[in-house]
Amino acid sequence: MARSRTIPILLAALALAYVGSYGAFKIRAIRIARTYEIKGYYFVGILDDESIARERIFRRFYAPLIWCDVTLLRGERPAPPADRELR
């Protein structure tokens, strides 16, 4: 009986952490984007190739929430991906 309750509670906690971390990252990113008057936002600063790679990882990880935020909630879109190499 305890095991049958534990799994849904654990899944709900993981889902809440996933959504909460997205919200925290997005709020921080939008605040920084507005400071520098950037249309859209980046999850991490785009300064070098390593940062671009981390940005791609964040976008893939949060892709379902980004879609829900933009499509269903009419949220702000992320800035276009920084695909070029910075050297």
Residue 4: inside a domain: no
Residue 29: inside a domain: yes
Q: Convert 58-67 to b/e letters by CB count within 10 Å (16 or more is b).
A: beeebeebbe
Residue 53: inside a domain: yes
pLDDT at 4: 82
Specify whether the CB–CB gap between 55 and 42 falls below 8 A.
yes
CA angle (40 as vertex; 35, 43 as ends), nearest 5: 80
Residue 5: inside a domain: no
Per-residue pLDDT tens digits for 10-64: 999 999 999 999 999 999 999 988 988 888 888 887 777 788 889 899 999 999 9
Domain encompassing residue 87: 21-87
Residue 1: inside a domain: no
**Number of compact structural domains in the chain:** 1
Residue 9: inside a domain: no
Phi/psi at 29 (5° precision)? -65, -40
Alpha-carbon Rg for the chain in angstroms: 16
Model-level pTM? 0.80
Residue 13: inside a domain: no
